Structure 1
Amino acid sequence: MTDNKKKKILFLCTGNSCRSQMAEGWAKHLKGDVVESYSAGIETHGLNPNAVKVMAEAGVDISGHKSENVNDLLHIQFDYVVTVCGHANENCPFFPGKAKVVHVGFDDPPALAKAVEGEEEKLNCYRRVRDEIRAFVETLPEVLINL
C-alpha cells in the first residue's frame, strides 16, 4: 500500500448475522494494522450463534459484535464496500463519496446447514465458509484495488 492511511472497508450482507460478521472479525484480527473494518446488513437479524462459535474456534471473538443496519453507517466515508452475498449485492444502497462497491460472494452457512444432518455436520458448513472468508481477508486491501 502506498499511503499510511487505513482503508475503511464495509462488509455488507443481507442480515449482518453471519458472513459479514465473520469478514469484519477476520479483518480486525488479521488486517487491523491496514484496514478499518465494519459490517452491516440491508436488514438486521442479530448475530448467528454458530458464526460466533466457529469464529471462536479459530481464535476470533465476535461475540461482542452487534447487527448493524447499513443505513446507520452511510455517514462514514468508506474506501470499499464489499458485498458478501447476492441479495446485498443486488440491493446495495448508493454510497456517497468515493466508495468502490465490489462483490465477493460466499455461500450462506445457515442455508448449507439446512441440507445436512447432525450438529457437527452443520458446524462444518460454517467452518468452510469461515475459512473461505479468512482466505479472502488475507488478501486485503490489495486485492480490492484490482477488482
Structure 2
Amino acid sequence: MSDKRRVLFVCARNDARSLMAEALLRHADAEDFDAFSAGLEASEIDPRTLESLEHIGIDTEGLRSKALDEFAGQQFHYVITLCDKSSEEAARMPSSGEVIVWNFEDPVTSDKHEPFRHTLQEIHDRLHMFITVKTRS
C-alpha cells in the first residue's frame, strides 16, 4: 500500500483544467501524491491543454479524459473541484478526507490572451501552495 496521498481533481468536462492540475501535480511531487482527474462527464481533451503542458516541459503521456463514475467506490485524501459546476455536484464525488473548492476560469471559453497558459500558471501557483501546506510534517 502506498503512503502517497491520493488527489482527485474534478471539473465539468475533464478537457482542460483538471487535466492540467493532474499533470502538474504529478510533475511537481510524484513522491508524496498520486494525482487523478475526472469530469462530471468525459470529453475530448482540448489540444491546447496538451500543447500548453508540453510547452513548459510537462509529460502528457497517458493523460485522457475520464468521467467521475470511473472512480466510484475509491477513496481519496483530497477531492479538489476546479469549477463552479463541479463544486455544485458534491454528492457525486468519491469519498475523501477533504473536499477543496478552487475556481478557475475555463480557458476554452476565455477571452484572455493565451488563456491556456494563463490558466496553467494559476493552477501551478495554487498547487505549489497546496503541496507546501500538505507536505509539512
TM-score, length-normalised on structure 2?
0.88
Q: For residue 8 of structure 1, give the secondary structure of its aligned residue in structure 2.
A: strand
CA offset at residue 95 of structure 1?
Answer: 2.8
* Structure 1: runs of 5 or more not aligned: none
CA contact (8 A) 2:71 2:94 kept: no
Q: Going by fraction, where is strand more abundant, 1 or 2?
A: 2
Cα root mean square deviation, aligned: 1.9
Percent identity, aligned pairs only, is 26
Give the distance between the partners of 1:65 and 1:94, measured in 2 at CA: 20
Could you tell me which residue of structure 1 aligns to residue 120 of structure 2?
A: 130
Equivalent in 52, 61, 64 of residue 50 of structure 2: 52
CA offset at residue 5 of structure 1?
Answer: 2.0
Q: For residue 64 of structure 1, give the secondary structure of its aligned residue in structure 2.
A: coil
CA deviations 1:75-122 (Å, max 9, x no partner) are: 2210110000110001131433x431110111100111xx36xxxx4x
Could you tell me which residue of structure 2 aligns to residue 13 of structure 1?
A: 11
| 2:127 is aligned with 1:140 | no
* Structure 2: runs of 5 or more not aligned: none
Q: Name the aligned partner's letter for residue 31 of structure 1.
A: D
The correspondence of residues 76-91 of structure 1 with structure 2, limited to 5 A, is 76-91=74-89
User: Could you say which structure has the larger radius of gyration?
Assistant: 1
CA offset at residue 63 of structure 1?
Answer: 4.9
CA offset at residue 136 of structure 1?
Answer: 1.2
TM-score, length-normalised on structure 1?
0.82
Give the distance between the partners of 2:74 and 2:93, measured in 1 at CA: 13
Could you tell me which residue of structure 2 aligns to residue 95 of structure 1?
A: 94
Equivalent in 29, 36, 39 of residue 38 of structure 1: 36
Give the distance between the partners of 1:10 and 1:18, measured in 2 at CA: 14
CA deviations 1:12-35 (Å, max 9, x no partner) are: 000001000000000000011111
